[in-house]
């Protein structure tokens, strides 16, 4: 049994768990498949094979679970952790909504 308390939640925005298909659009025109696992007003969490740099700004599109137009945004990378199997969890702050 672990007697240590959980670390305090530092994020102020409510997070909504998703499981929507997403894409990371690279500057050269390539697209990398991703999955958006969480979304909030200020940020999102993605799972992908792409390994970003800290503070890299990514252009991301997230498909809507309702079939509406995808959310397009610029995401500043705040963290990236290996999940195993060549996949990574990317957490970031939304710095601009594009559509």
CATH of domain 16-97: 2.40.10.220
Return the domain boundaries, the chain. 16-97
Asked whether the beta carbons of 18 and 36 are under 8 A apart, the reply is yes
* Longest CA–CA separation in the chain, Å: 50
pLDDT of amino acid 15: 59
pLDDT at 2 over 50: no
Asked whether the beta carbons of 62 and 39 are under 8 A apart, the reply is yes
Q: Three-state DSSP class for 13?
A: coil
Average pLDDT, whole number, for the chain? Answer: 88
Q: What would the pLDDT profile of 16-58 be if each residue is shown by its tens digit?
A: 667 899 999 999 999 999 999 999 999 999 999 999 999 999 9
């Amino acid at each position: 049994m672990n007697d240590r308390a959980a670390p305090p939640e530092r994020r102020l925005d409510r997070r909504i768990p998703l499981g929507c298909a997403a894409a990371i659009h690279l500057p050269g025109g390539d697209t990398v498949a991703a999955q958006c696992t969480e979304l909030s007003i200020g940020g999102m969490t993605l799972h992908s094979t792409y390994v970003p740099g800290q503070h890299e700004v990514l252009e991301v599109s997230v498909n809507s679970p309702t079939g509406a137009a995808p959310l397009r945004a610029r995401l500043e990378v705040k963290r990236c952790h290996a999940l195993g199997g060549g996949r990574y969890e990317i957490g970031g702050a939304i710095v601009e909504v594009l559509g």
